[in-house]
């Protein structure tokens, strides 16, 4: 599945990341996921996307990149990042008083070509 990303100034990393999250959201919605929340923040964490996949609550980390110069994007979701996402997920579940739901942690990589075309790699149960 391919999407087109807007052109941006190279220094606008935040907008690049946010746009990558929006593209990942649309990609997952086309796969049947239902969006619940985005950019959920606590003092020590942020969760990019929270979606429903059937009966499973999915916490999704989105990694947007122009190239693989520094390795695969999913590799940036190291153990420290995973711990922060889990803390955020626990806070979300407690705040929303969610009980008896399956929970999963996914990573969506958004690779953007020089022409602005986005390609996706979705890792279910990433950690």
Size (the chain), residues: 127
Radius of gyration for the chain, computed over Cα atoms and rounded to the nearest angstrom: 14
The model scores a pTM over 0.75: yes
Q: Tabulate helix, strand, coil % of the chain (nearest 5).
A: 30, 35, 35
Chain centroid offset of residue 107 CA: 6
Q: Where does 1-127 have alpha helices with state H?
A: 13-30, 79-95
CA dist 50 and 25 (Å) reads 9
> In a structure prediction context, what are the per-residue pLDDT tens digits for the chain, which is 127 residues long?
555 555 444 445 578 889 999 999 999 999 999 999 999 999 989 999 999 999 999 999 999 998 888 888 888 999 999 999 999 999 999 999 999 999 999 999 999 988 889 999 999 999 9
Query: Could you give all domains of the chain from N- to C-terminal order, each with its CATH number?
Result: 3-123 (3.40.1350.10)
């Amino acid at each position: 599945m391919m999407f087109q990303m807007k052109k941006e100034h190279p220094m606008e990393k935040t907008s690049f990341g946010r746009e990558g999250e929006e593209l990942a959201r649309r990609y997952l919605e086309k796969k049947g996921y239902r969006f619940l929340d985005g950019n959920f923040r606590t003092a020590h964490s942020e969760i990019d996307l929270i979606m429903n996949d059937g009966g499973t609550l999915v916490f999704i980390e989105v990694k947007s990149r122009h190239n693989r110069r520094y390795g695969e994007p999913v590799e940036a979701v190291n153990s420290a990042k995973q711990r922060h996402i889990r803390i955020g997920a626990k806070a979300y579940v407690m705040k929303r008083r969610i009980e008896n739901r399956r929970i999963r942690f996914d990573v969506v990589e958004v690779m953007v070509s020089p022409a602005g075309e986005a390609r996706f790699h979705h890792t279910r149960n990433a950690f």
